[in-house]
Structure 1
Amino acid sequence: MRDKVDRGVSLGAQVADIIRQRIVRGELRPGDRLTEEGVAEEFQVSRGPVRDAVSQLSYEGLVEVRRPRGIYIIGLTADDVEQLYSLRAALERLAVNRAAEVRDDEAWQPMRDCVERMAAAADEGDHPAFQRADVRFHSLFYEMARHPRLLATWRQYEPTFAALLDVTINHDDDLHESAEAHRRLYDLVRGEDRGALERELVDHLKRAEDRMRLELLSRS
């Protein structure tokens, strides 16, 4: 079935999301060629949104524009995955440590809600709901860090990590272990042991990186 776009949401962002997911899933492989005309025709949009999508995907390192020949898929390599997760680890350690300084219990309610949504999604085996709550959980660290430049950097890469999670999460028949890992991370960020918090965060992201590496190996 052909992917469709919602006319009430940024068309360029939607086109980028769909192409990004196809790249991360391996449906579009390195060296595959797209054209503005072909993408515009598939999604029934003008070339403006297509150019916006390509610009974002090029920034993320997923495609390369070679004028006048077209748009070429770069895809993801093991080195790309290492770079993405090492960058995220650096960003998220800063975000988590700044967020941990927030003592207002009410400010943490959205994150508690994410933890509960993940637990409920694990009980129901609802992978899409778990994925949405997982991404939101981590995004809240950046929002609570009160560091606009840090948040802006995360926003640039958030769609890529959402697509990576969308792929790796479907390998888990049972999501309870992952739900519990997020609850543990939440408990640590609300506690006083910053060393334990940092170790848990690094381990948390390393497990995510390893899962994506295994996904890439399965395609070779």
Structure 2
Amino acid sequence: MRVPKATFRAHIADGLRNAILSGEIAPGAQVTEQSLAEQFGVSRGPLREAMRQLIDEGLLVTVPYTGTHVVELSVEDVREIYSLRVTLEIFAFELVWSQRDEGFRRGLLARHDALTHCIDAQDDVGSIHAELQLHGFVYEASAHKILIKTWESIRGRLQLYWAAHHRAHGIRGPRRDGHDSYVATALGEDLAAMRAEIHNHMARGGQQTEDFLLGLAKHKDPATFA
């Protein structure tokens, strides 16, 4: 039975995404169609389409005259991601707060359960996707088209941030109880507490991730930090 082209392309994109998030293909590494075709054992046509998808997702970037590279996060990127996410997520909860219902509760808990399952299985890449789905739930519930597009525009860098965060902590996925307070507060009655929880939740471990990225930069170019 022949695999549909779209399914084959998605399979290649999943494999490439996993290789990037696991660190198998390092941040900043140059990637070419030829090298990836050999690595994954696929033809260039669907690979080219998969690469375009990851460029759209923000995991790859093409720079004129230098080729295509895995996006490399800087400390400034981490700080910008933090500040933007806080603002976006608070706004999303403000939009949906008075409209939360049983469907909202079930949906949020289901995504939390999916994340916990990945953590228990020590599936690092799966936990990154599941964490993205958990945080994305409130954006979807808001039905605010521009807000959702803005959230989607930072998903790729957010995945890279979480991958770096896991390596900084030497862990395979977030802490098992890392989202318990977030979910409980999201289903509570205190919007001010939710705003505070978003600030606190996103700040946890941020400094260690910054230190990790600074350490990588220093290792690459010791003279810069002499």
Same fold, judged at TM 0.5 (above): yes
2:158 to 153, 156, 161: 161
1:202 to 199, 202, 210: 199
Offset at residue 51 of structure 1 (A): 5.7
For the residues of structure 1 that align with 2:213 and 2:81, how far apart are their CA atoms? 14
Q: Which residue of 1 aligns with 2:14?
A: 14
Q: Which residue of 2 aligns with 1:143?
A: 140
1:126 aligns with 2:122: yes
1:65 aligns with 2:74: no
For the residues of structure 2 that align with 1:39 and 1:118, how far apart are their CA atoms? 30
Give secondary structure in 2 for the equivalent of 1:180: coil
Structure 1 residues 114 and 34, CA, compared in 2 at 3 Å: closer, same or farther?
closer
Q: Which residue of 2 aligns with 1:46?
A: 44
Give secondary structure in 2 for the equivalent of 1:28: coil
2:105 to 89, 93, 108: 108
* RMSD, aligned α-carbons: 3.5
Give secondary structure in 2 for the equivalent of 1:63: strand
Offset at residue 143 of structure 1 (A): 0.9
Offset at residue 41 of structure 1 (A): 3.7
Alpha carbons 2:111, 2:130 under 8 Å: kept: yes
Give secondary structure in 2 for the equivalent of 1:75: coil
For the residues of structure 1 that align with 2:61 and 2:9, how far apart are their CA atoms? 23
Alpha carbons 1:121, 1:127 under 8 Å: kept: yes
Alpha carbons 1:115, 1:137 under 8 Å: kept: yes
Deviates more, 1:100-109 or 1:49-58: 49-58
Alpha carbons 1:37, 1:47 under 8 Å: kept: no
Per-residue CA deviation, residues 137-194 of structure 1 (Å, 9 max, x unaligned), is 111111111212212222233243234324433636698x944342212222222322
Structure 1 residues 132 and 66, CA, compared in 2 at 3 Å: closer, same or farther?
closer
Offset at residue 7 of structure 1 (A): 4.6
Alpha carbons 2:165, 2:209 under 8 Å: kept: yes
Question: Which blocks of at least 5 consecutive residues in structure 2 are unaligned?
Answer: 1-5, 219-226
Deviates more, 1:209-218 or 1:77-86: 209-218
Per-residue CA deviation, residues 61-98 of structure 1 (Å, 9 max, x unaligned), is 8533224x533455111112222222222221211222
Offset at residue 127 of structure 1 (A): 4.4
For the residues of structure 1 that align with 2:31 and 2:115, how far apart are their CA atoms? 37
Give secondary structure in 1 for the equivalent of 2:98: coil
2:32 to 35, 58, 61: 35
Corresponding letter in the other structure for 1:77:
S
